[in-house]
């Protein structure tokens, strides 16, 4: 059996989205919805696995609406592509439980993101953080999604989803029941690094707000953050070799190239011989020009939270209509009386 192409992806409402989420993921989603049917969720259940998402109910609700507003403002069309919050489709959690019983402890023990996110005190991390990749497998497979746009850091989790699908198919006598979801690594996706440390990725949950450009930042905030972004005391590069061992400068050039949709060499050539301050001003202007319309649209949408909630409910209804029959079949296969 061949499975119908379907894209599934989601972002965690652990905070408002930032430039990295936009350039690394969201911008590509907008293009992908033209190429294949897509489902985009706001993974609020995943957000609960982290301290930043837990025990701050109002913050989680606000961030969920902000993430949904960012999807729409960036160009995902909810009339065409369902946008919904994960917890509204209970089949995600139901399938995750069954997958918890399919996945093996040894598989999860190998997940590097748990090691990174739990840090030195893994015994204090939530059990949810540990089984996060199992819920992610359920998010994908509850729709039999075939394609998943992922960053490099999520590739290992997608491998796990493939292993879970294969073991379920094998154990429950249904060789082609779940597809083997494929990663979609877009060649042009940019890994945006922190503005304070070129070795760390820009992250929603970095303690320093100055480390990231939020999609809700206004022009002054953007200009200020770029002006104060860590750089170095060397002259601007004249060639890409000059960026070697200069992660902060490299990051700023990558951001410029991604926003301007230019290759990095041509950006280097454009600014060669100039001062860092001039380059930063040009980068700030470009960032404001590209993000300004998205920020303005997000503000407009967020002024009417009831409308965002309506879009999320509508998206969830469409998603449930796809997930429910698949989940029924899963339950029958494992022996539950439905
Ligand atoms: N810095 C980044 N550069 C490029 N892409 C990025 N993504 C995240 N950070 C960058 C991509 O955005 C999507 C969001 O995934 P997520 O919400 O599951 O969270 P994450 O990958 O863990 O990203 P964050 O922003 O760092 O969130 P927190 O702090 O909550 O963990 C993914 O497609 C990711 O690749």
pLDDT digits (tens, 9 = 90+) for 1-33: 689 999 999 999 999 999 999 999 999 999 999
Secondary structure (3-state) at 267:
helix
Asked about 201 being catalytic, the answer comes back as yes
User: In terms of domains, do 228 and 158 share one?
Assistant: no
Residues at CB less than 6 angstroms from ligand 1: 11-12, 14, 20-21, 24-25, 151, 154, 191-192, 201-205
Asked about 117 being catalytic, the answer comes back as yes
Alpha carbon of 262 to those of 23, 221, 258, 269, 286: distances in Å?
A: 13, 25, 7, 11, 12
User: In terms of domains, do 21 and 104 share one?
Assistant: yes
pLDDT on residue 324: 98
User: In terms of domains, do 107 and 145 share one?
Assistant: yes
Residue 170 and residue 333: Cα distance in Å, rounded? 12
Residue 18 lies inside a defined structural domain of this protein? yes
User: In terms of domains, do 68 and 98 share one?
Assistant: yes
Q: How confident is the model at residue 188 (pLDDT cuts 50, 70, 90)?
A: low
pLDDT digits (tens, 9 = 90+) for 299-337: 999 999 999 999 999 999 999 999 999 999 999 999 999
User: In terms of domains, do 107 and 186 share one?
Assistant: yes
Q: Could you tell me how far CA 126 lies from the centroid of its own chain? A: 21
Q: Which residues contact 146 (CB under 8 A, 6 or more apart)?
A: 3, 4, 5, 6, 7, 179, 181, 182
Residue given tokens 């019983």 in the structure block: 101
Asked about 204 being catalytic, the answer comes back as yes
Short-list 194, 185, 176, 177, CA closest to 158: 185
Mean pLDDT across the stretch 263-267? 92
Given 144, 204, 225, 280, the catalytic residue: 204
Domain range for 31 is 7-190+305-334
Short-list 50, 17, 52, CA closest to 117: 50
Assess whether pLDDT exceeds 80 at residue 185.
Answer: no
Residue 29 lies inside a defined structural domain of this protein? yes
DSSP 127-163: HHHHHHHHHHHHHHHTTT--EEE--GGGHHHHHHHHH
User: What is the average pLDDT value for the chain, to the nearest integer?
Assistant: 94
Its pTM stands at 0.95
Whether the Cβ atoms of residue 157 and residue 136 lie closer than 8 Å to each other: yes
Residue 333 and residue 68: Cα distance in Å, rounded? 34
Residue 206 lies inside a defined structural domain of this protein? no
Residue 146 and residue 133: Cα distance in Å, rounded? 17
Residue 129 lies inside a defined structural domain of this protein? yes
pLDDT digits (tens, 9 = 90+) for 134-145: 999 999 999 999
User: In terms of domains, do 238 and 314 share one?
Assistant: no
DSSP E strands, the chain = 7-11, 38-42, 83-85, 147-149, 182-184
Please list, residue by residue across 117-142, b when 16 or more beta carbons sit within 10 angstroms of its beta carbon and e when fewer do.
Answer: beeeeeeebeebbbbbbbbbbbbbbb
User: In terms of domains, do 281 and 169 share one?
Assistant: no
Whether the Cβ atoms of residue 264 and residue 240 lie closer than 8 Å to each other: yes
CATH number, domain of 294, equals 1.10.240.10
Give how many domains the chain has, as a whole number.
Answer: 2
Given 27, 115, 120, 201, the catalytic residue: 201
The first and second tokens of residue 188, run together, are 């042009």
Residue 203 lies inside a defined structural domain of this protein? no
User: In terms of domains, do 143 and 224 share one?
Assistant: no
- Sheet arrangement for strand 182-184: 83-85, 38-42, 7-11, 147-149, 182-184
Assess whether pLDDT exceeds 80 at residue 189.
Answer: no
């Amino acid at each position: 059996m061949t499975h119908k192409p379907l894209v599934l992806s989601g972002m965690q409402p652990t905070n408002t989205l930032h430039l990295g989420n936009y350039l690394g993921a969201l911008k590509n989603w907008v293009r992908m919805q033209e190429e294949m049917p897509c489902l985009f969720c706001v993974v609020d259940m995943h957000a609960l696995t982290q301290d930043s998402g837990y025990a701050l109910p109002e913050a989680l609700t606000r961030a969920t609406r902000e993430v949904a507003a960012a999807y729409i403002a960036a160009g995902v069309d909810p009339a065409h592509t369902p946008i919904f919050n994960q917890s509204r489709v209970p089949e995600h959690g139901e399938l995750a439980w069954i997958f918890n019983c399919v996945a093996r402890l040894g598989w999860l023990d190998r997940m590097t993101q748990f090691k990174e996110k739990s840090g030195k005190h893994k015994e204090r991390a939530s059990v949810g953080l540990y089984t996060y990749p199992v819920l992610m497998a359920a998010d994908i497979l509850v729709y039999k999604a075939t394609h998943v746009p992922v960053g490099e850091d999520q590739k290992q989790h997608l491998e796990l989803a493939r292993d879970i699908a294969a073991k379920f198919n094998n154990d429950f006598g249904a060789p082609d029941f779940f597809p083997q979801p494929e990663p979609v690594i877009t060649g042009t996706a940019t890994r945006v690094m922190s503005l304070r440390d070129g070795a760390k990725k820009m992250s929603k949950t970095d303690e320093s707000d100055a480390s990231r450009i939020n999609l809700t930042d206004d022009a002054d905030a953007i200009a200020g953050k770029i002006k104060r972004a860590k750089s170095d005391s060397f002259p601007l590069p004249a060639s890409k070799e000059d960026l070697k061992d200069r992660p902060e400068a490299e990051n700023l050039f990558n951001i410029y190239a991604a926003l301007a949709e230019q290759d990095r060499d041509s950006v280097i050539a454009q600014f060669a011989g100039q001062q860092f301050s001039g380059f930063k001003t040009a980068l700030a202007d470009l960032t404001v020009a590209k993000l300004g319309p998205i920020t303005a649209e997000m503000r407009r949408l967020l002024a009417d939270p009831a409308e965002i909630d309506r879009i999320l409910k509508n998206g969830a209804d469409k998603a449930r209509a796809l997930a429910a029959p698949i989940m029924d079949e899963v339950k029958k296969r494992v022996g539950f009386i439905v």
